[in-house]
């Protein structure tokens, strides 16, 4: 019987060791079973945050690029308008030179206005012949196609004739539609604070 007890005692510590080993193995397996998904979840969260930052950066770059593109189109349009106004400015200057050269000393011009291709000249003269001379001189050039008398009245106080002439000219005011577009809507905050 003693030998049976020894066997039971000897096998009992082995069982305890095996039980402890199995329990430790189960604890390790459970720890890995819990830690691996947590670690994987943390990696996914880190990757998500990195991709979100990268996407925000790309969105900012894309918005900046679109802002630059709008700004470039606006500048191109302004350059076109300035070129058009500059070319028309020379024509208008020649037209005013022609009007100035057509005026005799006895005529006083009170107003010159341009609407489209119609130039309206208002002034006073002592004689009807002076008005006829200015009309002939104006129509004699290349900038004015036709001159019409719109109105002639007699100013009784000074005995001067008040006249209004309409001249059809080849000088058209440039179309400035869209010149005053909204530049402040173009957001160029990334250009060092420029906000044109």
* pTM given for the model: 0.45
At residue 191, does pLDDT exceed 60? Answer: no
162 contact partners, CB below 8 Å, separation of at least 6: 122, 123, 124, 151, 152, 153, 154, 155
DSSP 8-state secondary structure symbol assigned to residue 147: E
81: Cβ–Cβ under 8 A, 6 or more apart, which residues? 174, 176, 179
164-186, pLDDT tens digit by residue?
Answer: 999 888 765 444 444 444 444 44
* Euclidean distance between CA atoms 100 and 160, whole angstroms: 20
Q: Sorting pLDDT into bands at 50, 70 and 90, what band is 121?
A: very high
Structure tokens that stand for 100 in this block:
């100035």
Q: For residue 47, what pLDDT band results from cuts at 50, 70 and 90?
A: very high
User: What's the mean pLDDT in 5-29?
Assistant: 75
Average of per-residue pLDDT values in the chain? 79
How confident is the model over 78-105, as pLDDT tens digits? Answer: 888 887 777 666 677 788 888 888 888 8
């Amino acid at each position: 019987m003693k030998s049976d007890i020894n066997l039971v005692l000897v096998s009992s510590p082995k069982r305890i060791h095996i039980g402890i080993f199995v329990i430790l193995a189960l604890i390790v397996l459970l720890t890995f079973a819990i830690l691996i998904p947590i670690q994987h979840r943390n990696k996914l969260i880190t990757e998500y945050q990195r991709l979100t930052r990268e996407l925000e950066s790309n969105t900012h770059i894309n918005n900046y690029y679109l802002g630059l593109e709008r700004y470039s189109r606006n500048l191109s349009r302004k350059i076109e308008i300035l070129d058009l106004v500059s070319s028309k400015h020379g024509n208008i200057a020649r037209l005013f030179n022609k009007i100035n050269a057509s005026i005799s000393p006895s005529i006083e011009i009170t107003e010159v206005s341009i609407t489209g291709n119609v130039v309206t000249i208002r002034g006073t003269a002592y004689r009807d012949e002076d008005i006829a001379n200015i009309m002939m001189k104006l129509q004699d050039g290349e900038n004015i196609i036709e001159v019409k008398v719109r109105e002639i009245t007699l100013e009784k106080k000074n005995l001067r004739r008040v006249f209004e002439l309409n001249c059809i000219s080849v000088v058209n005011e440039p179309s400035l539609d869209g010149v005053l577009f909204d530049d402040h809507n173009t957001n160029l905050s990334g250009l060092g604070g420029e906000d044109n």
